[in-house]
Amino acid sequence: MRAVLLRETGGPEQLQLAEVPDPEPGDGEVIVRVRAAGINFADVLVRQGRYPQPPELPTVPGSEVAGEVDGRRVMALPRGGGYAEAIAVDEQLVVPLPDGASFEEGAGFLLTFLTAWIPLTRQVRVGPGSVVLVHAGSGGVGSAAIQVAKQLGTRVLATASTEEKRGVALEQGADEAFGYDEFAEKVRADVVLDPVGGEVFTQSFGVLNPLGTVVAIGFAGGWWEPLDPAPLVGRNLGLQGFYLGRLMRHDPQIVRDAIGELLELWSSGAVKPLVGASFPLEQAGQAHELIESRRHVGKVVLVP
């Protein structure tokens, strides 16, 4: 079968289409015929050699797919190997794709919405009257977080780098959208959901109301700056971190419960994944380039 192989870290050109052996299912596994594979920023970091826990090379990237198992339309969260025509997946990590949803949407749903839903329902307290600031509001996680926060009854603010992307955040349900150069002065929030990191992460503590919390979920804009806890104590602020991969390994029941809740929301039409672009497998490098250049909106997917 065909798959995208990463033999060594580096630029997007390191992602090469190759013939690899067909997958063989182990105990408790099923073969998913992949119809779409989601690209996550973690995949970009793996390819660049910047991921904190990198896989051994060569490897097939990709940890989110949608496809078919014995005629059933499904979504799945494999532990790598998703950029391929087929993959063996733990049957417990395979869930139904809602009726009427496309495979591309399925490949852009689980990781983004879980990364928003679990922190906003398990790690912080939000509801009517709360203000949630979502950084990178036009991206995959950001667009999911806006929709989730609105469903929880909050007022949602967002940041994005361009007027066009701020427009996308507003279309997803944000009440207001700001540039990164202005949010620190104009926003006050109870919760900040931050996939950006770097200076944006540090500035986010300045916008928090008393008892507010920053939830750090990524560092697409740079590694987190060192943080002195003294101002947090003095201002009654909090910091939470969220890493879905580790939670799946150590407490999978929380993830399964959250998936069930999210499927109900999607099936009812309350939320919907935003797919911004799709590429064939052989153009995986171009898809990564789009993400690295910060020109994409929503989720970018590969279609075998």
- Cis status, amide bond into 58, omega within 30 of 0: yes
Q: How far apart are CA 227 and CA 237, in angstroms?
A: 12
**CA nearest to 187, candidates 195, 197, 178:** 178
Would strands 29-39 and 299-303 be described as parallel, antiparallel, or unpaired?
A: antiparallel
| pLDDT of amino acid 296 | 93
Beta-sheet pairing, 131-134 with 208-216: unpaired
Predicted local distance difference test score (pLDDT) of residue 92: 87
* Per-residue pLDDT, 52: 86
Closest CA to 204 of 226, 223, 189, 219: 189
For the beta carbon of residue 112, count every other beta carbon within 10 angstroms. 27
Would you state the pLDDT for residue 162?
97
Residue 93 is predicted with a pLDDT of 87
**What is the spatial distance between Cα 113 and Cα 255, in angstroms, rounded to a whole number?**
11
Query: What residue ranges of the chain have pLDDT lower than 70?
Result: none
pTM score, two decimals?
0.95
Quote the pLDDT of residue 53. Answer: 84
Q: Which regions of the chain does DSSP assign to beta strands (E)?
A: 2-6, 15-19, 29-39, 65-69, 72-76, 86-90, 94-96, 131-134, 155-159, 176-178, 189-194, 208-216, 238-241, 275-280, 299-303
3-state secondary structure of 262: helix
**Residue whose structure tokens are 């119809």:** 35
The model's pLDDT over 264-282, given as tens digits with 9 standing for 90+, comes to 999 999 999 999 999 999 9
The predicted-structure confidence for 168-189, as pLDDT tens digits, reads as follows 999 999 999 999 999 999 999 9
Return the pLDDT at 266.
97
CA–centroid distance for 273 within its chain: 11
